[in-house]
Amino acid sequence: MLTQTRNVEEKLYFNRFVVDAGRPHITVRPHERPSAELRSLTHMCPAGCYSQNEAGQVEIATDGCLECGTCRIVTARTGEVEWNYPRGGFGILYKFG
């Protein structure tokens, strides 16, 4: 029996997110000028959670976070991102694969 191959977007569609409103598990520390590492997250985050606003500040929207830890690793030297696991029952629920 042949199985149908699914692309990444189709697989991610099945995941569900339980948002802990008002208690994000990741925060970007206040900064005047973001480091190269922090700016790189606007391209490196697989969920696209990071963006740079008009003032040049890097912001995060944790609603679709995959909890992969990329931002934690990339900014380990600078400490610009504070990363914690979500509280129990919150965060991503992987449904496929």
- The domains found in the chain, sorted by start residue, are 14-93 (3.30.70.20)
User: What pLDDT, on a 0 to 100 scale, did the predictor assign at position 26?
Assistant: 96
> In this predicted model, what pLDDT tens digit does every residue of 41-86 receive, in sequence order?
999 999 999 999 999 999 999 988 999 999 999 999 999 999 999 9
Whole-number Å distance between alpha carbons of 32 and 38: 12
**Chain centroid to CA 26:** 8
Dihedrals φ, ψ of 28, to 5°? -95, 125
